[in-house]
Each structure stands twice: as C-alpha cells, then as structure tokens.
C-alpha cells in the first residue's frame, strides 16, 4: 500500500507549478572574503568578514547560509503546499492530507471564529481536577495525546539492547528553555524570568482570567517550575549516557517515587502489560515530582497544566495568542523583531507532523539520483579517512583500534530520503480545524511510538524529514543521516569541484561521522549498544585530549562576561574539530593523483578551508547568542570556525602562517 501512496503522489505531481528560480549560492564566494584580516588570527573574519554587513531580516534571529538554503527549500515547499491546497486529492491520499492540513492552517477566519473551542474539553478536564489521583490520570491522558505535561515520556531504542524498544521517562515540564534559567541570579536571568511571568499572565488573560488572577497564577506557575528545575540535572550532567541510563522493573518504579502512581499513568497510555521494564533517565527528578504532586495545592497544578496546554496550543490559536507567543519566545529570547509569515509557520507544522507525506513531493524536485550517488561516494571516502586517522593515532591501542574499525565498517548511511515512506492513512486530516489537525497528528504520532514496544527496531526509520536542512548521527543505530534538504548548494552541489564540496560538507559528513567517536558516541559499540569497548588506558588518554578541547572552548567569550561552556558543548566541539580533519583527509583521497589548479586566486587547499568557513557564515543577534550559550550544546557559529582551525597544521600552511611552536594533541 505504500507503493500505492507514492504512485498517487506521482500522478498529482503533473499539476504542480514550477517554483520561482532562486539565486545560486556558491561554496566559495570571494565577495565575502576579507583579505585585510589575518586568517591565522581569526579565520572567520578572513573568510566571512564581507558578510558581516548583511542585515538580519526581522523574522530571523540569525541570517546566513543556512537560512539562505532554508529559503530556497521553503520556496519549493510553499509551491507544493499551495498547489495541493488548491487542487486537493482523493480522500486518504498524500495530496489530500498535505493540501487540507495547509489549507486549515491558512484559514485565519476560521481560526479566529473558533477561539478556544478546540481546547474546551481539555480545559474543562483540568478545571475539574480535585485530587492527586485525578492529576496523574490527566497527565497520562495529555501525554497519550502527544501533549507535554510535567515530564517527558517517550519510546526509544534501549541503549544497552539495541535490538529492542523501551519506554523512557525523563525530566521536563518547564516553560523556559533550560533548568538554569530558573537557578541563575544574574540580572539577565532575572529579567528573563520576570518577562516569563508577564508572558504567562498574558496568555491566561487571553484565556479569560482577570489581570490580577492571571498574575497570581503566573507567580504560582513560576514557583512550581522552579521546584521542578531544582530537581533537574544540568545540560552537562545529562550528557553522560551511562549516568542517565537507569533500567528498572515496573514493580521497582515505586522505589523511585512511591507517591507517583505509575500504574495509573501507564494505564492512561494503554501501556502493554507485556513490557516489564522501563528507563528512568533522572530518578531524583521523579522522586521530587511525586512529592510535589501531593505537597503542592491541587489549585497550583490546575493552573500549571492549564498554562502548559495554552502554551502548546498558542502557535495554532488566534492571532492574539500567536503574537503573545512570539513576543516572548522569539522576540525576548532570540531577538527576532518580526513574526514569520503565516505560510512559513504553517509549512513548518505540516513538515513536523506529516513530514514524510510532504517529503514525497519535495524530493521529486530537489534531489536527483546523480546527487545521491555522489554524496554516497563522499561518505565512503570520509569513512576511509576516519579509518586512516584511527590507524595513525599513536595514543590508541591496537585492541581498541580493531573494534573502532569494526564500528566504521558497520556504520550505516542514509542519504536524501527513505526507501519506504511512512504510512499516515490512519490519520484523519480535514479543512475544518487547524488545531484539531495538530492534535490529531500529535495523538497519531504518540500512538505510533507506543506501538513500537514489543516489536523489532525499525532500522529504516528516519528521525528527520527529507526537506530538513540538518543531519544526525544516531549512536544506538550506528548510523548517519543526510536529508535531501541539507545536500543543497553551497553545502553540496553535484556539479561543484571537490575542494568546494568536501570543505562545505566538513560540518556535515565529517562532523556526523566524528560524533560516532566523540565523548558520548565513543561509548557505543558497533551494534549501537552502550557498553565499554575501550581499554582503560585508551579511555584515560582520550579523556585527557577531550579536556584540552573543553579548555580551548572555555576560553572563548562571545559576549562580554559570557563564555562558552566547554563541557556543555564538548561533543559538538569534538565533532567540529575532528570532522574538519576527517573531511580534509577525505578531500585528499578524492583528489589523489589529480592535478588541481588555483581558482579565483585561491589554491585548492585554501578553497577547501574557505568553503568550510563560509558554510558557517552567519550574522546573529546578541539575544540569540546568549540563548544558545545558556541552553544549547553547540557553540555559536563564529567559534565553530575559529576553534577547528586553531591547531590545524595544514590550514596554517595553506595560508602561509608559521607553524605553532607547540601544537596541542588532538582527539582525532
């Protein structure tokens, strides 16, 4: 039946309108190079200095190469969505779901007329809560519907038995981006918390509360979320996969928190009785949560759940809710000055919730079989380059190397789009209500995830949609995935030279491959299992080298008084540093025996490094940088260029800089 779905989309593709032409983006753009800057001192300023004057559009918190690629992808997706919103398709077809979902989101008049009606049943249930037992059941029902409440519940691959799926509990339940937003006492953090309280009160007023009642409820919500935050682990603590792996028998959950009625929650999930074990990522969080469910007044929990329901629904409600949501989460936290056009917001929702329907129509236009073949060849040479680097690592024992080679040899690669598309035929989508479609899709996904329990791991499933401008390495599957959305110029151009493609994809293929051997990824074996496979001396030497990377990034100060946290960002920094080296060696393998010439005044090596740097060219608002440093595991873009080249001898040679007197040892 999946073949039939694809056949249907191919038929409807004949009515598609052509997308407007877009300006090509090249991997090496000489107009962005600032020859007055010293490349060895600040390579970002040298390679991207000419881009600094480019303004950031109001709808963005940052503007650069990624956003340019996004805009090109968006133009294709918009044309597809508008086509099927106009033409529709047979009931249950890809065209019908995509077209109706988009049409419902673009029907502002219907959304305004509906108001809060789509939330009425949930709001009434929350208002009727009287006891902790009622509360746990409602949290369970919300989670079963795919809605956030109090903590995170999901189904995942078992890290230590990657042939099986397992249910997982993890900390959550916060309205601010990360737990430290509740614990820091600096002026900026206090200002954000005050703005958050005002935002919560604003949404509660829009939902019918008086200003005084809304403010009192917002204060209550912040106080409750602070208690959840204080029981939560930091970003650095959550980066240790071993400490966050706690497998328990269902009967033993009471020892984590006897005050949390686990059976009542799981019953609301229709949790399979055959599943006898679960994962609890942060047991101390659930100990605290269980106590809070009983110690906090039920009235506090009612306003908390009401707020989180409104928060989750706000992007799909009336314009007043949408604008209030934008004012805090985009304008205040990221510095964005303008709300994104409605079509972009609806497009993002369709991609998130029925992305593989939309993707079937996208890949026909945006990714050729020739492009897929060349990308796979590049991946092959990256794998060989990583093999060579490990073979040459003087600090690693032969015993550990043999297993590392096995991990490389068994690593799977997904490029472009899935071989088999996800089946959404059981999902009912109509033009009647945008929020009803969102909730239906969320519930569909929650049920789809729960249905994985007791079944073999689907190693063909994609964790990103094909139009996504991103990539990933999944350690439990030992696989890399490069969607069609990121394999676009300037990151990848099937017609471009090797220097441009290998340099631009250093932050993609090289980066994701190195994630398999960063401080987290190295703890998973060739089958994806979390278990020791390094000898102790190798672990010690790796840790010493990783600590040098952490110290290097600790020294970077993107904003006055605000440094990068080198341990919080360690895995991504190792992937950036090691990924550039792996991609450089893959470039050398690809061009071995070829006579390469300078182009536009730059040698092939210079073009490789400039393509890498220009792949990060981005102007960011200060608010965006602050948010990233405080809540993300990635470093800001400028330092993702400066850091990797700092101790790279071939880079220094390419630009005529003297070698470092004493180069620090590298992880990879």
Instruction: Give the pLDDT confidence score for residue 664 in this predicted structure.
Output: 61
Q: What are phi and psi of 663, to 5 degrees?
A: -80, 135
Rounded CA-CA distance 214/16 in Å is 48
Confidence class for position 494, pLDDT limits 50, 70, 90: confident
**Mean pLDDT lowest among 3-12, 377-386, 434-443:** 3-12
Q: Is residue 577 part of a domain?
A: no
Residue 3 has pLDDT above 50, yes or no: no
Contact 307/175 with Cβ under 8 angstroms? yes
* Backbone CA torsion sign across 30, 36, 40, 43: negative
Give me the phi and psi of 611, to 5 degrees please: -60, -40
Q: Which of 433, 459, 423 is nearest to 103 (CA)?
A: 433
Task: Write out pLDDT tens, residues 281-314.
Answer: 999 999 999 999 999 999 999 999 999 999 999 9
**Those residues with Cβ within 8 angstroms of residue 140's Cβ, 6 or more apart along the chain or in another chain:** 264, 265, 266, 267, 268, 269
φ, ψ dihedrals at 154, nearest 5°: -150, 175
Report pLDDT for 2.
27
CATH of the domain at 140: 1.10.1380.10
* Residue 417: inside a domain: no
Question: Is 630 domain-assigned?
Answer: no
* pLDDT value for 666: 76
Cβ atoms of residues 105 and 346 within 8 Å: yes
| Cβ partners under 8 Å of residue 310, min gap 6 | 119, 203, 204, 206, 207, 321
By three-state DSSP, how is residue 158 classified? strand
| CA 403/CA 574 separation, integer angstroms | 20
Look at residue 585 and tell me whether its pLDDT is greater than 60.
yes
Cα four-point dihedral sign 274, 276, 278, 284: positive
What is the distance between the alpha carbons of residues 474 and 574, in angstroms, rounded to a whole number? Answer: 16
Backbone phi, then psi, for 372, in 5-degree steps?
Answer: -60, -40
Supply the angle between the helices 120-127 and 298-313 in degrees, to the nearest 10.
170
More confident residue, 413 or 364: 413
Alpha carbon distance 200, 307 (integer Å): 7
Per the CB < 8 A criterion, the answer to whether 634 and 62 are in contact is: no
pLDDT in tens, 15-48: 333 333 345 689 999 999 999 999 999 999 999 9
Judge whether residue 208 has pLDDT over 90: yes
Establish if 57 belongs to a structural domain.
no
How many Å apart are CA 415 and CA 321, to the nearest integer?
39
Residue 264: CB atoms within 10 A of its CB come to 16
pLDDT at residue 411 above 50? Answer: yes
Q: Measured between alpha carbons, how far is 156 from 649 in angstroms, rounded to an integer?
A: 42
- Counting the structural domains of the chain, the total is 1
Percent of the chain at pLDDT > 90 equals 92
Boundaries of domain holding 184 = 131-297
Do the beta carbons of residue 373 and residue 440 sit within 8 Å? no
Question: Tens digit of pLDDT for each residue in 135-177?
Answer: 999 999 999 999 989 999 999 999 999 999 999 999 999 999 9
- 3-state DSSP assignment of residue 272: coil
Per-residue pLDDT at 455 exceeds 90: yes
User: How many Å apart are CA 282 and CA 284, to the nearest integer?
Assistant: 6
Each residue's pLDDT tens digit, 260-271? 999 999 999 999
Residue 407 lies in a domain: no
CA distances to 136, 142, 238 from 263, in Å: 10, 16, 26
Q: Is beta strand 62-64 parallel, antiparallel or unpaired with respect to 277-280?
A: unpaired
3-state secondary structure 4-65: HHHHHHHHHHHHCCCCCCCCCCCCCCHHHCCCCCCCCCCHHHHHHHHHCCCCCCCCCCEEEH
Distance separating alpha carbons of residues 56 and 409, to the nearest angstrom: 43
> What values do phi and psi take at 386, rounded to 5?
-65, -40
Give how far Cα 457 sits from Cα of 155, 161, 163, 237, Å.
11, 10, 6, 28
Residue 11, pLDDT score: 27
pLDDT digits (tens, 9 = 90+) for 230-280: 999 999 999 999 999 999 999 999 999 999 999 999 999 999 999 999 999
Residue 144 lies in a domain: yes
Average pLDDT value for residue range 399-417: 97
Q: Which segments of 521-621 does DSSP mark as H helices, in order?
A: 536-554, 570-590, 604-614
CA 493, CA 471: separation in Å to the nearest integer?
Answer: 16
Question: Does residue 281 form part of some domain?
Answer: yes
Q: How far apart are CA 113 and CA 247, in angstroms?
A: 48
DSSP string across 182-212: HH--SHHHHHHHHHHHHHHHHHHHHTT--HH
Q: Mean pLDDT in the chain?
A: 94
Question: Any idea what DSSP says for residue 602?
Answer: B
Retrieve residue 552's tokens.
């290097």
Residue 184 lies in a domain: yes
User: 579 pLDDT exceeds 90?
Assistant: yes
Q: Phi first, then psi: what are they for 373, rounded to 5°?
A: -65, -40
| DSSP run (H or E) holding 153 | strand 152-158
For 223-257, give one letter per residue: b (16+ CB within 10 A) or e: ebbbbbbebbbebeebbebeebeeebebeebeebb
Contact at 8 Å (CB) between 169 and 153?
yes
pLDDT for the residue 168: 98
224-228, 492-496, 569-573: segment of lowest average pLDDT: 492-496
Helix, strand and coil content of the chain, in percent to the nearest 5, comes to 55, 10, 35
Tally the C-alpha atoms within 13 A of residue 368's C-alpha that lie toward its C-beta: 7
């Amino acid at each position: 039946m999946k073949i039939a779905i694809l056949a249907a989309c191919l038929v409807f593709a004949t009515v598609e309108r052509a997308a407007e032409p877009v300006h090509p983006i090249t991997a090496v753009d000489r107009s962005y190079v600032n020859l007055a800057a010293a490349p060895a001192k600040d390579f970002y300023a040298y390679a991207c200095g000419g881009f600094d004057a480019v303004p950031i559009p109001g709808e963005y918190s940052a503007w650069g190469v990624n956003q340019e690629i996004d805009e090109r992808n968006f133009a294709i997706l918009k044309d597809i969505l508008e086509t099927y919103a106009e033409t529709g398709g047979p009931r249950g077809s890809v065209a019908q779901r995509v077209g109706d979902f988009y049409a419902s989101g673009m029907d502002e008049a219907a959304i305004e007329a509906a108001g809060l009606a789509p939330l009425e049943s949930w709001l009434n249930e929350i208002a009727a809560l009287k006891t902790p037992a009622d509360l746990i059941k409602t949290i369970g029902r919300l989670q079963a519907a795919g809605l956030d409440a109090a903590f995170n519940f999901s189904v995942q691959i078992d890290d230590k038995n990657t042939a099986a799926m397992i249910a997982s509990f993890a900390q959550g339940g916060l309205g601010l981006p990360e737990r430290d937003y509740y614990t820091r006492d600096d002026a900026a953090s206090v200002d954000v918390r005050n703005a958050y309280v005002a935002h919560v009160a604003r949404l509660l007023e829009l939902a019918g509360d008086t200003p005084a009642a809304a403010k009192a409820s917002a204060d209550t919500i912040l106080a409750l979320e602070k208690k959840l935050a204080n029981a939560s682990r930091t970003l650095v603590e959550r980066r240790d996969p071993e400490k966050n792996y706690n497998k328990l028998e269902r009967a033993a959950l009471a020892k984590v928190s006897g005050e949390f009625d686990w059976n009542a929650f799981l019953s609301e999930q229709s949790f399979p009785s055959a599943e006898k074990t679960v994962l609890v990522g942060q047991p101390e969080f659930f100990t605290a949560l269980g106590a809070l469910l009983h110690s906090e007044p039920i009235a506090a929990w009612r306003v908390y759940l009401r707020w989180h329901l409104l928060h989750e629904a706000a992007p799909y409600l009336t314009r007043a809710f949408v604008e209030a949501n934008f004012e805090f989460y985009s304008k205040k936290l990221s510095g964005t000055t303008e709300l994104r056009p409605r079509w972009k917001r609806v497009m993002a929702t369709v991609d998130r919730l029925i992305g593989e329907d939309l993707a079937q129509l996208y890949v026909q236009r945006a990714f050729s079989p020739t492009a897929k073949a060349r990308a796979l060849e590049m991946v092959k040479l990256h794998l060989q380059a990583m093999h060579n680097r490990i073979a040459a690592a003087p600090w690693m024992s032969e015993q550990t190397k043999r297993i590392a080679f096995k991990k490389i040899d068994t690593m799977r690669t997904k490029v472009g789009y899935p071989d088999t598309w996800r089946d959404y035929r059981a999902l009912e989508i109509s033009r009647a209500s945008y929020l009803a479609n969102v909730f239906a899709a969320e519930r569909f996904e929650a049920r789809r995830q729960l249905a994985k329990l007791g079944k073999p791991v689907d190693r063909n499933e994609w964790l990103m949609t094909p139009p996504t401008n991103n990539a990933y390495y999944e350690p439990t599957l030992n696989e890399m995935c490069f969607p069609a959305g990121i394999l676009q110029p300037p990151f990848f151009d099937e017609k471009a030279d090797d220097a441009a493609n290998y340099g631009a994809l250093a932050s993609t293929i090289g980066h994701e491959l190195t994630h398999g051997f960063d401080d987290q990824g190295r703890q998973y074996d060739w089958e994806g299992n979390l278990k020791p496979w390094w000898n102790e001396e190798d672990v010690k030497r790796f840790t010493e080298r990783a600590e040098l990377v952490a110290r290097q990034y600790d020294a970077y100060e993107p904003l006055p008084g605000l440094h990068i946290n080198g341990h919080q960002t360690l895995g991504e920094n190792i992937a950036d540093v090691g990924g550039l080296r792996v991609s450089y060696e893959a470039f050398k393998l690809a061009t071995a025996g070829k006579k390469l010439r300078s182009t536009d005044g730059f040698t092939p090596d210079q073009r490789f490094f400039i393509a890498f740097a220009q792949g990060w060219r981005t102007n960011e608002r200060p608010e965006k940088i602050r948010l990233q440093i405080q809540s993300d595991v990635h470093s800001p873009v400028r330092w993702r260029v400066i850091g990797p080249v700092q101790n790279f001898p071939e880079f220094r040679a390419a630009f005529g800089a003297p070698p470092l007197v004493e180069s620090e040892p590298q992880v990879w």
